[in-house]
Structure 1
Amino acid sequence: MRREPGGGLRPAEDLDPVHRLWLELPEQWRGPVIGPGIANWDRITENGDRRIDLTGLPDPFPAELAWMAHWQSVDGTRSTVLAMNQLANILRRAIREGHPFPTSMLALDWETASALQGWFYAHRWGRLPPKDSRSRLRVLFRFARQALIARCHDGPWWTLDEWHPRCDPRIPLSTREPQANYGCSPGQITQPWLREAVKWYLGTQLESGALRWTTVSQDRMNCLRRFDVWLTSCLDDPIEVLGDPAAAAGQADRYRRWAMEPGHRKTGTFDRRTPPKPAHPRLINDDIRAVADLFTFMVANRDRAHIVTGYAVWDRVTDTHVAGWFRQVSRIPRTPTLNDRHYVDDHALAQIPGALPLLGLPRDQQMTITRGDGTQVLAAGFDDPQAMRMILLQILTGRRSSEIRTCEFDCLSPAPDISVQSGQDQEVVRFRYAQSKIDTAPDTILVDREVSAVIEEQQRWVREHLPEFEPRHLFVQRTGNRNGDKPYPPGTYNWMLRELSNVARITDGQGRQLQLSNTHRFRHTKLTRLAELGLPIHVLQRYAGHATPTMSMHYVAQREEHAEQAFLATVKLRADGSRVQFSREDHDGLHLLDRADRFLPNGWCLLPPLQSCDKGNACLSCSVFVTDATHEPTLRRQQAETEALITRTTNAFREKHGRAMPEDNVWLAQRRAEQAALTRLLDTMADHPERAVQGGGCGAPPTGPVPLALTGPRRRTRP
């Protein structure tokens, strides 16, 4: 016999799931008062030394809440003492007042708990509960209760309405998906016959390895939820979709045209906050294929469909339904879809390093940044040096955001038999990134000292902020990560980059604002530049981490500027086969397409001929201004004349007004900018005496990690 949580006895072999979980708890966590005797209790909870009091609660509430509190501590989040005590107070008052409530936490969902909380506040204080009190209680009904439901569920994991690997270790993950911080909700599908079929189909595909968790949770589930919305809103009887097989092609065509409407593609909270935009034909094809694949699975398993799903409607689906839906998958012409809009040009890349330190700057400090339109603003820091280093690594390596965000802490290793030395004693090392998309693709690349310096600085930062743990990931979650084993969350990274984009307003050479959260553009840019340098296709494929060279070529943007340069660089022949000799000036003249306004007194303008210049006469600080040593006398004369002009004008101002000309004077600010640009340009030319210099007056962008003074960990609240 064994003693139950409430004090009763029951046979040891007749244990319900909750009682089994209670017996597995450490003795100090079994309550009814939790806290005394638990080591580092003040660090485990979010409320200091306050205890969890579960006395007076009917079974199985004490065992369930105790297990949830222990799971939070093991998960690395802090046990929510105030929320559990508040729920315990609500239940104790409901018992005294005879107010009905569910019999366990398994049956107490958030809607019922919220109603109980409203009754408690109205009965005791005569008012509704405040917003922060509702938010505090709701935390219990997210991951902790979901984990309890998963542990008490004896059936297949895919029969649950909520799937999350963090809460249910039975969900299979591939070796390339060591930890998934996102879940999905098949229970949101409203048609029960469809919901049960989707669970069975996706669960079976995941267990067999035909699909992986990333595809199931972020792609297939959204497609099938969209199909459910169409069934509910557009068909009088949703089961009609499994009716006459001859009508399947027409229904699939109606669904295709419905899915093309931008307003019908919003499935998440963030989607509802963003304006709708047209969907790419490939996304429409994905929606149709998801339905067709579901029908294919149900046809192949028709003899078990009724038993597993509990609905006989799936006996109607036939191969004709499958063919009718697959017939609506449109053929997309094999034309290049990548162009200059998928490429981050030099004009934008020159602005990004100046804005990145704002990400790592503490929130109580400010710095001045120059926006893409030339205006200067004073902005407060974002206090997130990890995001700063992540986007810097994406720019330098061309990796996907997930490959940087979830890479291992010890990701650098020596490159065997490879040692590239330069004037700065630069080493090449091997970088192992988190390749989570293609199982057969490589997961390492060779990187130079610039990349390894950023990684080493991040490793030092992690050791300083998590000294008591052996780090698992290079970039870690800063809150709710007491064990230090959770990677940096993707939502936080995207939000940080969106906020930085709104502040910095970085623009490309055509004046279009660059959204930094679209980090895949940096991957396109890196691979495009490597291809334009003449890298062999098999080497480009290896660096990109692709399984086929065709996919690598899809990433190369077809830039008109590079096409013109490549054409002009080809060998020109006369009719007799002899070569035409071109001087450098002739080559530059052809490249500029005989545009006389591109020849400047002190250099050349490389702005594409079909674009207009909005810089006025501020060529010295322009990123597409090019000059070389042949113009050095002109530039030095201009520097001396500018300095003499400033001295002469400021002296005249002092004699006339009796005070010095202020530095924010419009005329003086412009002359100072010209003087600084000339100084930087001449210094850059001196460092590269035999090369042409582009954008030298803009200043050399900072390379490697940006040194920041970090005073210690700061809690940041996500919006």
Structure 2
Amino acid sequence: MTDDFLALVPADGTESMSDPYRRLESDLPVEWRGPLIGPGIENWVARSNGGRKIDLAGVPERLGLELAWMAYWQYRDGAEVMSYHINQLARMLAWVAQYGPTQLPSSWVDWPEEEFRRFFCRFREATTGRPAPASALRLIPSCLRYAQLALAARLHEGPWWMLDRWHPRCDPRIPLREREPLRGDGCIPGDAQIPWVRQAVKWVLGTLLESGAMTWSTLLTARMPALLRLDCWLRTLPDPAVVATDLGQASSLTAEFRRWDSVPANRVRSGRAPRTDRVAPVKVNTDLFAIAELMSFLVDHRQEALSVLGPTPWERLDPAQPAAWRDQAHRHMARPPVLDDGKYVDDHALAQITAYLPVLSASREELVPVSCQGRHDTLRGRDEPQVMRMLLLQILTGRRASEILRCDFDCLSPATDRAVQAAEGEQIARFCYAQSKIGKAPDTILVDAEVVAVIHEQQQWVRERFGGPTRYLFPKRKANADGHKAFPRGSYAEALLVFSDLAQITDSAGRPVQLSHTHRFRHTRLTRLAELGLPVHVLQRYAGHSSPEMSMHYIARRDEHAEQAFVATRKFKADGSLIAFTREDHDGLQLFNRADRFLPNGFCLLPPLQLCDKGNACLTCGVFVTDDSHTAALERQLAETSALIERTTSAFEARHGVPMPADNVWLAQRTAERDALLKLLAAMAAAPGRAVQGAGAPTAAGPVPVEIDTTRYRREPR
């Protein structure tokens, strides 16, 4: 259990009591037990709704105890105590208890919302002579929504997973990791309408969460939605039990579910319009894997399932059925695109983002002029300085949104002496982020002065607003009197969504950039580091991944970078001089894979699968390549060959009295070598800095002229 949520325990330290209402009474301090609540409570004026006292006079004892407990829960939770609305409810309960024609429910937990509305309407008409306004009917139940969920969890006698609604803020029994990225209003397994499906979903997911085999984030975002969609699909079948009882139809049922799950309208709540016109195959595969996981657990724990769930169709589940669901997913895995820059934010868009950031931090009364790339706007401020700094940190560090939102207040520490020396005077520090996705991955990176400045600015803002350090660097602004709650993920996304509509950020191709999709900045940061030549193992360490394959998944394969990398291969040599890269040079580069092709005065470009039949006559071979680095060797060989020819011909003439014939076998070979050396040196002198191929051959080899239509592939298709 984390410190984020209220854990109410009796004063004597005993948790188990036969009467759940005794637990509520033991939770409440004396000043909260009524009938008048307010006097003696610390900061009551600032923490309650208008500083009003809560009057529970005339309310039935148990319902009054529950109202007092829910008010106390709001106080301990850091939210504002809704004293005005609680007083209205107290007056209504007192009136119904005295004059009402029907009996009140025994608990708020057992009070359906529709029945509550009828009671409230009768009360308002009887006391004011006017019907209850619609705003009051909506506001009063919602103001106690979380407190009522906490009350249900506190009164519940069984395991937490037996409840129809799960919310870690309201139920401290739900197991969470230390840095669990929380989002939304929890989940509602009770939405599953088929009883045997609902009970299996609760038990299996609750057991996996308690055992540590599943995290709350995975349950909330992937497993629970998938299993609720399974329940929805089963209700379209004539006999839902066939999914567990008939192995012969397993393949056809999985294929039918894939088709149904691929329709966007089937993946949203009733009455809502789908956001897209297609469903990505990976999302359907996630649902198939979740269903297979549920079935595998029920098969592996068959006897325990029978004792917990009782007789259900799951008893007849065959071990081969989970494999059928997994196979359906494997057959439809999509291949990644060759070029994938859809998640990359280019410099054009980043320039606009940084230009419009002052709009986020400015107050709502301030008009902010913005000029960027020929655009001139004047926008009203959004009063979201935390959102601005969170977005900046994501852009500069490439961290996930949850890792920024839930990082600790004191998240900076000095870098090691080794790192400081390597930085050569640049200010660096070690940033500890809220790593929560991968347990074995590191949770620190080195950051520069710009990141340090943003964090220091945020720390100063927190001290001024909360009077001192809070647990998190980015605390929630409302319902957080003690500063122990992190900035909500939903509020962050909503603020960026509004900001996107105002700024109208576009990339260089004119496509809109939705800032609420903040994971794009992680892709962008890792892509840029990879394009700068960062080694894979260093990139993996910076990204906080457990494998290099995952890091490579984040690298956008951009056409622009591929072109730049190709052009860079011909820019400079080691000495900084310009390289003229030709086909011969490219062939020469392949020699580094074969040591037997290195020659004392050059290289042999003969393909590896071919054999040389020229012996040592490389100088006159058309695939012999040499360059300036072998000039000294070639000149020495020329001098030695010329001297050898002169000595040998002189000795021949002295012995035989006639000059050596030009067609002499030995003289013809040595003369050919000398002439080849002269041609090679002349060719190298004519093209300094370039490699030459076959210049000593009788017919010099060279590039083959090829006519290429360079405009053909750029024409518009007809």
TM-score for both structures, normalised by structure 2: 0.76
Corresponding residue for residue 41 of structure 1: 44
SS of 2:370's equivalent in the other structure is strand
Indicate yes or no: 2:80 matched with 1:78: yes
Rounded to whole Å, the distance in 2 between the matches of 1:13 and 1:359 is: 50
Sequence identity percentage = 48
Amino acid at match of 1:532: E
Instruction: Answer with 33-42 or 320-329: which moved more.
Output: 320-329
> Retained in 1: the 8 A contact 2:409–2:469?
no
Corresponding residue for residue 132 of structure 2: 129
C-alpha distance 351-240 of structure 1, shift in aligned 2 (>3 A): same
> Retained in 2: the 8 A contact 1:165–1:181?
no
**Structure of greater Rg:** 2
1:418 CA drift (Å): 3.8
> Retained in 1: the 8 A contact 2:431–2:446?
yes
Instruction: Answer with 497-506 or 530-539: which moved more.
Output: 497-506
Corresponding residue for residue 293 of structure 2: 293
Write out aligned runs for 1:489-504 (5 A).
489-504=488-503
C-alpha distance 538-114 of structure 1, shift in aligned 2 (>3 A): same
C-alpha distance 422-442 of structure 1, shift in aligned 2 (>3 A): closer
Rounded to whole Å, the distance in 1 between the matches of 2:143 and 2:494 is: 25
1:437 CA drift (Å): 0.5
C-alpha distance 166-14 of structure 1, shift in aligned 2 (>3 A): closer
Rounded to whole Å, the distance in 1 between the matches of 2:499 and 2:709 is: 40
C-alpha distance 84-406 of structure 1, shift in aligned 2 (>3 A): same
Please give the per-residue CA displacement for 1:544-569, whole angstroms capped at 9, x wherever unaligned: 00000000000000010110111122
Corresponding residue for residue 278 of structure 2: 278
1:369 CA drift (Å): 2.6
1:175 CA drift (Å): 2.6
SS of 2:517's equivalent in the other structure is coil
SS of 1:341's equivalent in the other structure is coil
Amino acid at match of 2:348: H
Rounded to whole Å, the distance in 2 between the matches of 1:13 and 1:176 is: 29
Amino acid at match of 1:527: L
C-alpha distance 240-362 of structure 1, shift in aligned 2 (>3 A): same
Indicate yes or no: 2:217 matched with 1:218: no
1:66 CA drift (Å): 1.0
1:611 CA drift (Å): 13
Please give the per-residue CA displacement for 1:219-256, whole angstroms capped at 9, x wherever unaligned: 10011111111112x21232222232111111111000
Rounded to whole Å, the distance in 2 between the matches of 1:321 and 1:431 is: 47
SS of 2:450's equivalent in the other structure is helix
Corresponding residue for residue 523 of structure 2: 524
> Retained in 1: the 8 A contact 2:361–2:381?
yes
Indicate yes or no: 2:399 matched with 1:396: no
Corresponding residue for residue 169 of structure 1: 172
Corresponding residue for residue 505 of structure 1: 504
Corresponding residue for residue 251 of structure 1: 253
1:406 CA drift (Å): 1.0
SS of 2:249's equivalent in the other structure is helix
> Retained in 2: the 8 A contact 1:35–1:52?
yes
Instruction: Answer with 428-437 or 311-320: which moved more.
Output: 311-320
Please give the per-residue CA displacement for 1:316-364, whole angstroms capped at 9, x wherever unaligned: 2111322322221134254347622211111111111110110001001
What's the Cα RMSD here? 2.8
> Retained in 1: the 8 A contact 2:59–2:91?
no
Instruction: Answer with 533-542 or 513-522: which moved more.
Output: 513-522
1:112 CA drift (Å): 2.4
Corresponding residue for residue 307 of structure 2: 307
> Retained in 2: the 8 A contact 1:370–1:504?
no
Please give the per-residue CA displacement for 1:626-653, whole angstroms capped at 9, x wherever unaligned: xxxxxxxxxxxxxxxxxxxxxxxxxxxx
Instruction: Answer with 564-573 or 334-343: which moved more.
Output: 334-343
1:387 CA drift (Å): 0.2
Indicate yes or no: 2:437 matched with 1:437: yes
Corresponding residue for residue 558 of structure 2: 559
1:610 CA drift (Å): 7.6
SS of 2:563's equivalent in the other structure is helix
C-alpha distance 361-610 of structure 1, shift in aligned 2 (>3 A): farther
1:38 CA drift (Å): 1.3
Instruction: Answer with 425-434 or 209-218: which moved more.
Output: 425-434
User: Which one of 11, 21, 26 corresponds to residue 23 of structure 1?
Assistant: 26
Instruction: Answer with 536-545 or 342-351: which moved more.
Output: 342-351
Amino acid at match of 1:33: L
Corresponding residue for residue 262 of structure 2: 260
1:481 CA drift (Å): 0.7
Rounded to whole Å, the distance in 2 between the matches of 1:13 and 1:320 is: 43
Corresponding residue for residue 649 of structure 2: none
Indicate yes or no: 2:95 matched with 1:93: yes
SS of 1:327's equivalent in the other structure is helix
Please give the per-residue CA displacement for 1:76-98, whole angstroms capped at 9, x wherever unaligned: 01111112111111111112223
Rounded to whole Å, the distance in 2 between the matches of 1:348 and 1:152 is: 52
Instruction: Answer with 529-538 or 118-127: which moved more.
Output: 118-127
Deviation >4 Å, runs of 4+: 12-15, 178-182, 419-425, 577-583, 593-596, 609-612
1:380 CA drift (Å): 0.7
Amino acid at match of 2:179: R
Amino acid at match of 2:342: R
1:423 CA drift (Å): 11
Corresponding residue for residue 10 of structure 2: none
> Retained in 2: the 8 A contact 1:226–1:267?
no
C-alpha distance 250-273 of structure 1, shift in aligned 2 (>3 A): closer
SS of 1:114's equivalent in the other structure is helix
C-alpha distance 422-290 of structure 1, shift in aligned 2 (>3 A): closer
1:370 CA drift (Å): 4.4
SS of 1:394's equivalent in the other structure is helix
Please give the per-residue CA displacement for 1:446-496, whole angstroms capped at 9, x wherever unaligned: 0000000000000000000000x5410000111111111111111111111
User: Which one of 143, 146, 150 corresponds to residue 149 of structure 2?
Assistant: 146
TM-score for both structures, normalised by structure 1: 0.76
Corresponding residue for residue 458 of structure 1: 458
Amino acid at match of 2:555: V
Corresponding residue for residue 55 of structure 2: 53
Amino acid at match of 2:218: T
1:294 CA drift (Å): 0.7
C-alpha distance 33-132 of structure 1, shift in aligned 2 (>3 A): same
Rounded to whole Å, the distance in 2 between the matches of 1:284 and 1:581 is: 62
1:180 CA drift (Å): 6.4
SS of 1:164's equivalent in the other structure is coil
C-alpha distance 178-369 of structure 1, shift in aligned 2 (>3 A): closer
Indicate yes or no: 2:387 matched with 1:359: no
Q: Matched residue pairs, number?
A: 574
> Retained in 1: the 8 A contact 2:398–2:524?
yes
1:502 CA drift (Å): 0.7
Instruction: Answer with 59-68 or 196-205: which moved more.
Output: 59-68
Rounded to whole Å, the distance in 2 between the matches of 1:267 and 1:524 is: 31
SS of 1:445's equivalent in the other structure is strand
1:151 CA drift (Å): 1.1
Amino acid at match of 2:258: R
C-alpha distance 574-249 of structure 1, shift in aligned 2 (>3 A): closer
